[in-house]
Amino acid sequence: MIEAQTLVDCVFKYNPKSDADMIQAAYAYGKHTHEGQFRRSGEPYFSHPIEVAMILAQQKLDDSTIITALLHDTIEDTGSTKKDIADQFSPEIADLVDGVTKLTQMQLTSSETKEAENVRKLLMAMAQDVRVILVKLADRLHNMRTIKAMSLAKQMEKARETMDIFAPLAGRMGMQSIREDLEDHSFKVLNPEGRASIIRRFIKLQRETGDVVERISSDMRQEMEADGIVAEVYGRAKKPYSIWRKMQEKDLSFSRLSDIYGFRIITETEADCYRILGVIHRRWRAVPGRFKDYISQPKSNGYRSIHTTVSGRDGKRVEVQIRTHQMHDVAESGVAAHWAYRDGERSENPFTVDPYKWINSLMEQFEAEDDHDAFLEAVKLEMYTDKVFCFTPKGAVIKLPKGATPIDFAYTIHTEFVGNRCVGAKVDGLRVPLWTRLRNGQSVEIITAQGQNPQGTWLEMAETGKAKSAIRRALRDADRQKHIVMGRELARAAFEHLGKKATDKVLETAAQKLRLPNVQELLARLGNAELRACDVVQSVYADLSVDKEPEVDSRRAVIGLQPGQSFSRSPCCQAVPGERIVGIMTEGHGVSVHAIDCDSLVKYEATPELWLDLHWHSGKHGAVYPVTLDMTIANDAGVLGRICTLIGEAQGNISDLAFIERNPDFYRLTMNVELRDIEHLHALTTVISAEVQVASLKRLRRTRPRVNEQLTLQ
């Protein structure tokens, strides 16, 4: 177990003004409170907090963070309280220890929302003090280093969580060394055979080629010295997980991988970085398309460096990173560099970014996202991104993830006035589709229009979490108004079936009974089929039930006919139970039933004697009323089959299907579906509209066939 003086000496090397007495006091306090506790490996439990503190000391962090690491399990695992730590040390340290404890104790009852809620809590803790997450990352790193003591099932669970959340989080915060360690230890658990295979191939390659890294490093040093440049050169083989991931992404075997070696050249000034780039490119041939200048265009986490790939000895490709010492500190420590000490003073690194800027922007983007899966997807997208840089027409630089489209560009500029109103885009002066993938250096102009609204298909085009979240929110807001209108009509019909009125007072009572905040929320849920109309009725009139009534004979479904009259639904509007209707008397004793808003009724305005006041029977109706749906779907295998399955699952019956237009990318078709009532219709269209590959869906109502419209029966 590491001694207190060893830790103090490590901190003292970078911070001679550190409070050695306070660190030793925290060491003694932690050792005393954890006395008699052991890890699964059999080691004294306090060996773990010391190792966590040493990991953070290697990041040159402040005394408060080091002491927090020593005490981070005292509140959770011992009798200590937050007040005890505040009295013994300081309120700042007590708050940090309490923050780490709350993260460790995250327990939720819903397995579906657990991961998303844990990520949300991680971000909230980060927004208060990023050092809480720095301790948590160091805690997870040491746990991964000693994970063999756990059961295999627990190892797999922790490794997946580390690979999904903690490793990319460390990377997004710029802590590359910790990210690589977390990934490698997780890889060792999740795919031990794959990792061992890569290591064996490395050993074999070294036997065949000798120490390639040392030879190339020596060559680079000689070139620097010849040009009078002072620089340090470090070379290494890339981590097994990094190589395995590249093999998977590019579908290549190990023997076909080229840049498995990486070199860093660290110098004093930014000017020297560009001089070194010239030296490297003069001596070795640059690989086209593999140059990135993160000095002139730094990453959002503060990372700065020049990346280039060249053909080295024997034609082998090697990646070279060129940066200054200050850039290197940020590249290795990321946001931790914000608290780093050098010679007893807080390090004033000009390349360190505000660690709260990204976290707060992320929280603002997703704080309104209630869908746990959508929230988790959006956060992961933000953490895993590789950046491309594009320009506005005025020359402003916009950072986007690799694979981003004009949709992402538009939402990065402004959500409401540019993103939501986007109708097209020009890239380098040429009009392009909104799904076009943007590349580095392109100039992008977004074309907007007043009255435009986001489309559901944009979700498939967008790459950034911000764009996806904004599109979902806009679609929800637009749908909500439609759902409220539909819900009010459904409520009216449901209550009228039982001879009751859906007054505001009745709906307020129903909302209270169903524990909903207001009538608007009740109507919205009713309109989008989250709530059944019969449940709303029964919440107010518990002794009445729509479900108890027998099914209405379709021949007697309409009330208000004169004796001996028969009726038929007019094909122009296809009225269904739940809609307000009117009857038009035809020759003989027949009556044509129309929806009250049917356009065909205009031609009968001059003959009021033909009109009959009708309404649907209040009982339950069978699925015998055909309704024509007009839809546009993607021309992909299985799409139509899935739609037919959805209709069947919703208790609808397809009586006719006709294709109107066929294209390589999409089909347009009409479909006659037999349904019970307006509620059944809305529930069905909601389910179908939710399919990603359904571009549009509407109920078809018209008085006459369209000109030149050809229907092909399938």
For residue 390, the SS3 value is strand
Cα of 163 vs its chain's centroid, Å: 16
Query: Under the phi-then-psi rule, with left for phi > 0, alpha for psi from -120 to 50, and beta for the rest, what region is 594?
Result: beta
Active-site residue, from 19, 35, 43, 76: 76
Amino acid at 191: N
677: in domain:
yes
Residue 9: active-site member: no
Q: By C-alpha distance, which of 516, 515, 678, 655 is closest to 581?
A: 678
How many CB atoms lie under 10 A from the CB of residue 237? 17
Q: What is the pLDDT of residue 708?
A: 36
In this predicted structure, what is the pLDDT of residue 112?
Answer: 43
Q: Are 158 and 150 in contact (CB under 8 A)?
A: yes
Which of 38, 301, 22 lies closest to 146 in space, CA to CA? 38
Same domain, 62 and 179: yes
Q: Are residues 582 and 707 in the same domain?
A: no
What integer pLDDT is reported at residue 259 of this predicted model?
63
For the entire predicted model, the pTM comes to: 0.53
Sign of CA dihedral 590, 593, 596, 597: negative
CB atoms inside a 10 Å sphere around CB 203: 10
pLDDT at 109: 34
Tell me which residue range forms the domain holding 339: 208-346
Residues 608 and 518 in one domain: no
Task: Report which of 67, 48, 47 is spatially closest to residue 57, judged by C-alpha positions.
Answer: 67
Residue 527 burial by CB count (10 A; 0-12/13-18/19+): exposed, middle or buried? buried
Burial 343-378 (b: 16+ CB within 10 A, else e): eeeebebebbbebbebbeebbebbeebeebebbbbb
What's the pLDDT tens digit per position in 40-79? 888 899 999 999 999 999 888 889 999 999 998 898 888 8
Kindly report the CATH number assigned to the domain that includes residue 657.
3.30.70.260
Same domain? For 570 and 655 the reply is: no
Residue 140 lies in a domain: yes
Q: Which of 301, 318, 346 is the last residue of a domain?
A: 346
Do 511 and 577 fall into the same domain? Answer: no
Check if 77 is active-site: yes
User: For the chain, which residues score pLDDT lower than 70?
Assistant: 104-128, 208-210, 249-259, 300-301, 312-315, 335-387, 543-550, 589, 702-714
Query: Do residues 226 and 284 both lie within one domain?
Result: yes
Say whether both 57 and 121 belong to one domain. yes
Is residue 447, in this structure, part of any structural domain at all? Answer: no
Residue 291 domain flag:
yes
H/E run at residue 326: helix 325-333
Is residue 519 one of the residues assigned to a domain? yes
Tokens of 386: 């590789």
Please tell me whether residues 166 and 258 are part of one structural domain. no
| C-alpha to C-alpha distance for 474 and 456, rounded to whole angstroms | 10
Active site residue: 19, 43, 77, 164, which one?
77
Give, in order, the Cα–Cα distances in Å from 562 to each of 240, 311, 497, 589. 84, 93, 21, 9
CATH assignment of the domain containing 293: 3.30.460.10
- Token readout for 205 is 């390659």
Exposed (0-12), middle (13-18) or buried (19+): which is 492, by Cβ within 10 Å?
middle
Per the CB < 8 A criterion, the answer to whether 306 and 294 are in contact is yes
Q: Are residues 527 and 651 in the same domain?
A: no
Domain boundary (548, 580, 598) is at 548
Structure confidence at residue 280 (pLDDT): 93
- Mode of pairing for the β-strands spanning 317-324 and 261-267: parallel
246: helix, strand or coil? helix
Note the maximum CA span of the chain.
110
Q: Are residues 91 and 185 in the same domain?
A: yes
| Domain count across the chain | 5
DSSP conformational letter for 478: H
Domain-ending residue, one of 282, 314, 346 = 346
Q: What is the DSSP letter of 421?
A: T
Give domain status of residue 435, yes or no.
no
- Sheet with 558-559, strands from edge to edge, namely 558-559, 611-616, 581-585, 590-595, 566-569
Question: Are 139 and 278 in the same domain?
Answer: no
> Quick check: is 223 in a domain?
yes
| Residue 129 near residue 103 (C-beta atoms within 8 A) | no
Q: Are 523 and 558 in a shared domain?
A: no
419: DSSP letter: I
Burial class, 634, CB count within 10 angstroms (exposed 0-12 / middle 13-18 / buried 19+) = middle
Is 446 within the bounds of a domain? no
Alpha helices in 210-324 (DSSP H): 212-226, 240-250, 270-283
